[in-house]
Structure 1
Amino acid sequence: MVTVLLGHINAWTPKIVKKTIHIHKAGGERKTLKIVAASDIHLGTIIGPRKTAKLVNTINSLKPDIILFAGDVVDEDVKPVIEQNLGKNLLHLKAPLGVYASTGNHEYIGGAEEAVQYLESHGINILRDETVFLDSCFYLVGREDKEKTSFTSVPRKTVRELLSPLDKQKPIILLDHQPFHLELAQEAGVDLQISGHTHHGQLWPLGYITQKIFEVSRGYKQKGNTHFYVSTGYGTWGPPVRIGNRPEILAFTLEFE
């Protein structure tokens, strides 16, 4: 019982992960880029108004240039999100370059079209196998979640297909919810990939299982010139308890040549 109580307190106490990443490319007129990112928020029944407000306030306090969400913004069914009007909080997110997200498996479990429509109507731009070129500086690529094929029978684009039209001399940031086959992003020329999904098991000792499944179950890794970060996520799936890891918000400063 004590372990569960401490795990519940832990789940409600996110940490801020601060990291400076050097990108070996020019960023146009921009020398640095401040990214604040999160994954696996799981808005819904458990992650309600109070924790959503805390997320928004914390992100805004970090004064980001851009805000990124790497999938599972919604916890399956979007109805509890609508009923609690959680989008009202999302509208208060502030970043000069905007708020962007990719889909996660939970968006597809609950019905991706309705979830995406709701999020976009509340200020979050969802990139679904899409790319935007921002501030004459960098590309942001949002990849559809791996589960798209299972739910729609339509395959998502490969990383190589997404990046093939891009100028590889420009910095490229990829949002890909599930961190499988990191070598494909490296080979395609991604500079920074942000993922989530794993929760690093969420409950000890399940982190040992996710470490067997994924090359990176949590945290940072560099492969060649490509930087990867797999977040443990902000929210929880199932019980609001975390044992063995902390929820987190990412505050990355990219330094361009």
Structure 2
Amino acid sequence: MEYFKRRYLINGPIGTVFLFIYNYFLIDILFRYIDYQLNPVVLLSICLFLALVNIISITVEMNASHKITRIFMEISELWKWASLMFLFELILLYVLGLFIKIPRELVLILYSLVIVLGVYGYYNAHHIKVKYHNLPILKEDNNESIAILHISDVHFGSIRRESILVNLKNKINQVYLDLKQGGMEHIVVIISGDLVDGSSPVDIKDLEPLKDIKPKVIFTPGNHDHYQDINGLLNDLEELGVIVLNDDSLDMKDLGLNIIGLNFKYEDMESKWEEYHFNLPVNKSETNILIFHLPVFYEYFKKLGVDLQLSGHTHGGQFYPANLWVRAVYHKLKGLYAFSRDGVSDRFYLSVSTGLGTMGPPIRIGTDSEIVVLTLNNKDFKK
């Protein structure tokens, strides 16, 4: 909760003051490049409106979610994304202006490009794609295949609310039926953290679409799940039939799977994180799947006997050029990673989902809103 309060302080009051000043200069320069001088009163009014939209929506949504403030927050986040793109364009225009006289038409084309990218990114963020991979990690005596539907970072909250869980439920159930028709008997859904965004309170009625998901659903918390009422969230999920693994494990002996859920919150970084002292209930005779929100410590977990790590958190960078910064922090940015040594497979995999929802602006450019279907089998297994 302390981290959440600090986050509010930065994004709320401090962030609003910064945005007011930033927007004042940005908008003024944007109009100057098309040879138009905004009236100072109009400019101040625009910046004040954007500042109020930001602080009001964030503050109200902390306590209760309302349709109007959700619209305000979406407007604010979309503008933050657009203003960043405009800033990059202004830098480009400044550099070009050192060498050539820039025609007004070119400036308008560049400005229009931001709108086009925004429409595409918004559309892309709201459409779920399904990606399939085969993983030969089941033990030798298991002759059946198992499908794991890996989902992460739903970010149910102020911006992505009712529709995102309904769309998730419908998509999962469709994939489930398709897999069943294809002969797949065992299907499990695993959500590797950040089911909720933490930007607004969530109650059991908000999460009801989860109870209509046909396969068994397993969930382990990520950092955003802790921002408000984590205990209430976990209780509601269990009441809806979701299996919560919060520093716990589930031994599915009938499938030969041992699923371990390692909870993550930033407060842990100064204790078990830095020392890498994780107590994992690994079962050597079964296939061990670790749910851990961050795509880190995979080499360490591999040594402990984990066969598959399911992570998220990165959103794949969500949009350019944010992906460059995220990749610098998390080297395993998105996708499925297979590990080998001297050309020989270690039979360990790391699945880093780009997520289903979005963080901040509901924009995806260069990444997808995805469900990852991992088909586990024992093809070519050798002890």
| TM-score using structure 2 length | 0.61
Q: Is the 8 A contact 1:174 1:192 kept in 2?
A: yes
Aligned to 1:49: 162
Q: In structure 2, do the counterparts of structure 1 residues 52 and 59 end up closer, same or farther at CA, with 3 Å as the change threshold?
A: same
RMSD of the TM alignment (CA)? 2.1
Go from structure 1 to structure 2 and tell me whether the alpha carbon gap of 1:48 and 1:118 turns closer, same or farther (over 3 Å shift). same
Q: Contact between 2:165 and 2:207, CA under 8 Å: does it hold in 1?
A: no
The reply on whether 1:92 has 2:205 as its aligned counterpart is no
Structure-2 residue corresponding to 1:240? 362
State the alpha-carbon separation in 2 of the partners of residues 213 and 127 from structure 1: 27
Q: Deviations over 1:72-99 (max 9, x none)?
A: 00111562x328x33221110111xx21
Q: Normalized per residue, which structure has more strand?
A: 1
* Conserved? CA contact 1:159–1:184, under 8 Å: no
Structure 2 runs not aligned, ≥5 long: 1-114, 177-185, 340-345
Secondary structure, counterpart of 1:173 in structure 2: strand
- The corresponding residue for 1:203 is 319
List per-residue Cα deviations over 1:203-230 (Å, max 9, x = no partner): 2111111211113110111122210110
Specify the structure having the higher radius of gyration (Cα): 2
- Could you tell me which of 252, 258, 269 is aligned with 1:134? 252
Tell me by how many angstroms 1:142 deviates. 0.4
Counterparts of 1:5-16 in structure 2, within 5 Å, are 5-16=119-130
Whether 2:371 is the aligned partner of 1:252: answer no
Cα offset, 1:13, TM superposition: 1.3
Flag the structure with higher helix content: 2
Aligned counterpart for 1:121 among listed residues 239, 256, 276: 239
For residues 234-253 of structure 1, give each alpha carbon's deviation from its aligned partner in whole angstroms, at most 9, with x where no partner exists.
00111211122111011111
C-alpha displacement at 1:27, in angstroms?
5.6
**Number of aligned positions between the proteins:** 248
Listed as ranges, the matches of 1:206-221 within 5 Å are 206-221=322-337
Instruction: Flag the structure with more relative contact order, 1 or 2, with Cα contacts below 8 A and sequence separation at least 6.
Output: 1
Distance 1:254 1:24, change over 3 A: closer
Cα 1:182/1:146, change in 2 over 3 Å: farther
- Residue number in structure 1 paired with 2:192: 70
**Distance in 1 between residues matched to 2:276 and 2:366, nearest whole Å:** 34
Unaligned runs of 5+ in 1: none
Shift of 1:58: 0.7
Give CA-to-partner distance per residue, 1:38-84, whole Å, 9 cap, x none: 100011222222221110011111116111000000111562x328x
Q: Does 1:38 align with 2:151?
A: yes
Find the residue that maps to 1:210 and give its secondary structure.
helix
Give TM-score scaled by structure 1 length.
0.89
Q: For the residues of structure 2 that align with 1:74 and 1:254, how far apart are their CA atoms? A: 28
**Structure 1 counterpart of 2:40:** none
Letter paired with 1:68: I
For residues 14-56 of structure 1, give each alpha carbon's deviation from its aligned partner in whole angstroms, at most 9, with x where no partner exists: 210111111152364x521011121000112222222211100
Q: Which residue of 2 aligns with 1:19?
A: 133
Distance 2:328 2:263 in 1: 24
CA 1:24/1:37 → structure 2, altered by over 3 Å: closer, same or farther? closer
Residue of 212, 223, 226 corresponding to 1:108? 226
